[in-house]
Chains A and B, each alone.
Chain A
């Protein structure tokens, strides 16, 4: 395969990944590394570098659209970014010390877990609870435009959410993914932040988290411009189109198909890691 063919093929695949990732809310980054390593036989470290860059592009590209809706909570985002950026830094340093076979296995497990998370039904929104003293001191409680007027919400279990966010950042730095699934889990399930607020705030945080490890990756020579170029442009274009058609599309069966792909890729990664063929 020559450079031109490779660029076109990787670009088209990234476009589809970005499109489906935006439609299903699972993110395109999570399938990119396995696709690049399994289909194109790219070394996992180059794949992680390229994926990380594309994660920043989609997060920043989608932010402008999300912001208009007025759901994201900038204080929750900034406070939790302390945890995710430190985690991302730790993850990026860990990545340089971890054998590629181990990286592949961890990646496979994360893929299986995110497929499981997306298949599970969400718990009902909590009833009107009392404000949490720590969340109040940190000014994390917020409001968003609901169906009938402004809805206020109280943030809960700040330490649990903060610790989960450190883990999300570490995974992001280790594997070059946005780890939006873990971020939403921390905000939605642990901190009881309304789902829509969690997803939009998470999108905001993903770019900052990825930037924290991207610097380390760049200086270690993991980011190859010729590989990152088609991946970043493809995912960006795909996710922008995906978030436009999101409103009209019936995403239920799409989510199912995409989850299926993620499970297959997860098993493939674990198999490759265990047999040492990565």
Chain B
């Protein structure tokens, strides 16, 4: 009973809150590191966002972003941080599914899995 009682909504939300905070800190750190490299290398170049060209293919997919990161390209590292940021709420939903399962709340496990599959569809495009 004590094990089940530990999984009440309030404690679950506290864990989720901390999960989100850690995710944001990690993402912001990676983005800042990439920003330093990018600004040192390209800081004095002219800027132009007037015309929309779309990002190069390597900055659109996880595999390309990781390749760019290992090449120590500033923009690739920033993009990796942004992917971390986007993944943070997804991790939050995944954890909520687990927590609802611990509470034996089948209805909410299903609701949470629906949300999770929409997120995965959006991220992976499968």
Contacts and interface: CB of A to CB of B under 8 A. Distances in A.
Contacts of A67: 13-14, 16-17
Contact of B47 (A1, A56, A216): A1
A257 interface: no
Contacts of A1: 46-47
A151 interface: no
A138 B107 CA distance: 8
Contact of A211 (B49, B56, B79, B122): B122
A86 B86 CA distance: 17
A225 B38 CA distance: 10
Contact of B43 (A3, A60, A79, A230): A3
Given A45-B52, A211-B86, A225-B59, A3 B122 contact: no
Interface of B: 9-10, 12-14, 16-18, 20-21, 23-24, 27-28, 31-32, 34-35, 38-39, 42-47, 49-52, 54-56, 59-61, 74-76, 78-79, 82-83, 85-90, 92-93, 96, 105, 107-108, 111-112, 114-115, 118-119, 121-125
Given A59-B89, A78-B96, A228 B82 contact: yes
Contacts of A227: 49
Interface in A213-263: 213-216, 218-230, 232-233, 236
A6 interface: yes
A81 interface: yes
A224 B47 CA distance: 12
Contacts of B115: 78, 81-82, 85, 208
A64 interface: yes
Contacts of A65: 17
Contacts of B76: 225
A57 interface: yes
20 contacts: A2-B44, A3-B38, A3-B44, A42-B50, A43-B50, A43-B51, A45-B52, A53-B85, A66-B17, A74-B13, A78-B93, A79-B108, A81-B93, A208-B90, A211-B86, A211-B89, A218-B82, A220-B54, A224-B49, A232-B85
A208 B92 CA distance: 8
A79 B100 CA distance: 12
B67 to A, nearest CB: 14
B79 to A, nearest CB: 4
B92 A225 contact: no
Most chain A CB within a 10 A radius of its CB, from B31, B42, B108, B112: B31
B89 A64 contact: no
Contacts of A63: 16-17, 20-21
